[in-house]
C-alpha cells in the first residue's frame, strides 16, 4: 500500500474540503492518503516543523494569500513553501492561487520552482486529480495559465536581466512606478523603457 502524507494550507476551509474530496475520490486503489490541513501560517509552520522531524509530508499544497504568522516571519504561502523546501527537501510543493498576473507567476516560479502550480480560476476537479497524479510521478505540473506564460517567456527574445527581475519583484510588492528609482539606481525614463519591454514579454 502506498501511503501518502499531504498538507493542505488555505484560509477557506470549504476550499480545502473540496480538494480533499477530489483527491480521495480519485486516488488509486493502492494509495492511502493522510491529509493534514491548516488555515493560516502559524498552524502550517507548526505542522511542517513537527512533520519534518518524523514523517515528512510527501506533498504540500499552499495557497499564496494567507493570514501571516503572529511573529511576522511568515506572511504568505510563498514563505511556507520555502520553509517546507528547507526542512523537507524531498516533499513535492504545489502552489494554488487566485493570482494570475504574469509578474506574480514569474516570481513564484523563480523563487520556489514548485512541482505543481495551479491557478484556481483554471481548476476543475479533473485537472486537480490529473495534476496530483503527475506531480507524484513526473513533476512539474502547471495549469493552463502558467503553461501559457512559460511558453511565452521561453519564446521571447527579451532577456530578463537582474534589473528587470528587480523591477518585477518590486512591482509585485506593490511599489509604484514613480518610486522604483528609490530602489534601483537607474533613471525614471530608463525604468519606463524597461517596463514597456516587460509588457511586451508578459502582457501581449
Task: Give the model confidence (pLDDT) of 113-142 as tens digits.
Answer: 999 999 998 889 999 999 999 999 999 999
Q: Judge whether residue 95 has pLDDT over 50.
A: yes
Residue with cell 513526473: 138
Do 51 and 128 touch, CB atoms closer than 8 A? no
Pairing state between β 141-142 and 2-9: unpaired
Per-domain residue ranges of the chain: 2-151, 156-203
Arithmetic mean of pLDDT over the chain: 89
- Residue 73 makes CB contacts below 8 A (sequence gap 6+) with 79
Q: What is the pLDDT of residue 193?
A: 85
Q: What is the pLDDT of residue 159?
A: 56
Q: What is the pLDDT of residue 112?
A: 92
Q: Which CATH architecture has domain 2-151?
A: 3-Layer(aba) Sandwich (3.40)
Do 109 and 103 touch, CB atoms closer than 8 A? no
- Residue 126 makes CB contacts below 8 A (sequence gap 6+) with none
Place 204 in a pLDDT band, splitting at 50, 70 and 90.
very low
CA-based nearest residue to 203, from 79, 66, 106, 77? 106
Q: Judge whether residue 153 has pLDDT over 70.
A: no
Amino acid at each position: 500500500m502506498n501511503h501518502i502524507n499531504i498538507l493542505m494550507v488555505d484560509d477557506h476551509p470549504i476550499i480545502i474540503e473540496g480538494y480533499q474530496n477530489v483527491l480521495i475520490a480519485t486516488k488509486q486503489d493502492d494509495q492511502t492518503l493522510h491529509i493534514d490541513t491548516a488555515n493560516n501560517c502559524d498552524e502550517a509552520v507548526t505542522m511542517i516543523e513537527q512533520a519534518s522531524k518524523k514523517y515528512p509530508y510527501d506533498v504540500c499544497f499552499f495557497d499564496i494569500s494567507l493570514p501571516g504568522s503572529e511573529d511576522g516571519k511568515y506572511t504568505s504561502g510563498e514563505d511556507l513553501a520555502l520553509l517546507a523546501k528547507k526542512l523537507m527537501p524531498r516533499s513535492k510543493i504545489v502552489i494554488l492561487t487566485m493570482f494570475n498576473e504574469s509578474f506574480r507567476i514569474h516570481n513564484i516560479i523563480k523563487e520556489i520552482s514548485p512541482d505543481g502550480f495551479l491557478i484556481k480560476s483554471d481548476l476543475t476537479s479533473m485537472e486537480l486529480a490529473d495534476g496530483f497524479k503527475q506531480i507524484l510521478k513526473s513533476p512539474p505540473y502547471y495549469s493552463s495559465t502558467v503553461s501559457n506564460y512559460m511558453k511565452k517567456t521561453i519564446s521571447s527574445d527579451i532577456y530578463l536581466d537582474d534589473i528587470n527581475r528587480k523591477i518585477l519583484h518590486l512591482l509585485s510588492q506593490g511599489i509604484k512606478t514613480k518610486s522604483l528609482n528609490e530602489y534601483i539606481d537607474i533613471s525614471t525614463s530608463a525604468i519606463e523603457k524597461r517596463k514597456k519591454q516587460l509588457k511586451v514579454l508578459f502582457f501581449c
